[in-house]
A and B are shown apart, each in its own frame.
Chain A
Amino acid sequence: GESVGLHLPTLSVQEGDNSIINCAYSNSASDYFIWYKQESGKGPQFIIDIRSNMDKRQGQRVTVLLNKTVKHLSLQIAATQPGDSAVYFCAETRDDKIIFGKGTRLHILP
C-alpha cells in the first residue's frame, strides 16, 4: 500500500557535523510535505514544510529537499547540536489528513 517511510531508524552524527535524514514516499499525488521533531515524552514540533512545486526550502539551520522523480524527501541539519537529539518524522498530506512515517532517531556523538 501507499506509505511514507524512512530509510534508517537511527542516525548517529558527531556534534558539529551536518545531519541528513531521509524519507521515501509513494503517493505521487501528495502536494505537501512536513518534517517534525519529537523529543522524548513530548508531542511533535513542526520544523519545516515544502510544497510539491518546490525542490528546496531553507529554514534556520535546516534545509528540506524534495525529489519528486524518485519520491524522496530529506532534511538537512547544519552544525548538529546536542539539542537536535530527537526523533524526526516526515509526513505527507493526503485528503486533509497528515500521514506520518515511522521516524528516524538522531543521536548526537560528543
Chain B
Amino acid sequence: DGGITQSPKYLFRKEGQNVTLSCEQNLNHDAMYWYRQDPGQGLRLIYYSQIVNDFQKGDIAEGYSVSREKKESFPLTVTSAQKNPTAFYLCASRPSSGPYEQYFGPGTRLTVT
C-alpha cells in the first residue's frame, strides 16, 4: 500500500532529552512537511522540504531540526531547546507539481514530562 507512515504513534520522553520522530513515504513525492498541532488548535508548520538535501524553516522552527537525506524520509528531531514539546506531530507529503493536496500521516503524539 502506498502512503505515509509515522512511528511511533505515542512517544514519551523526559524533559531535557532530544527525541526523533520518524516519517516515511512511498508515494514518490518530492515535498514533505512537518506540522505541530496543539489541542483544539490548527496545524502550524515547523519545517518543510521540497527536494532531497534541502529544507526550509516554517513558522515555528525554533527548537526543532530536520534532515532530508533520502526522498522517502524526513525525520524531525525535537530538541531540549523546544520549550513546550508536548503536542501531536503530523507529517505530510505532496508532489512538487500539480494539485496542492497534501497527504498526511497518522501522527505521533509526543508527551514530555
Binding site for A on B (CB under 8 A): 4, 31, 33, 35, 40-45, 48, 50, 58, 90, 92, 99-107, 109
Contact = CB atoms under 8 A, between A and B. Distances in A.
A32 B98 CA distance: 12
A59 to B, nearest CB: 13
Interface of A: 9, 32, 34, 41-46, 49, 89, 93, 96-103
Contact of B100 (A44, A98, A100, A103): A98
Given A44-B90, A46-B102, A49-B100, A97 B107 contact: no
A102 B104 contact: no
A32 B50 CA distance: 18
A45 B104 CA distance: 7
A97 B106 contact: no
A34 B100 contact: yes
Contact of A89 (B31, B42, B101, B105): B42
Contacts of B45: 97-99
- The 6 A-B pairs of least Cβ separation, nearest first, read A43-B104, A102-B42, A100-B43, A100-B42, A46-B101, A93-B100
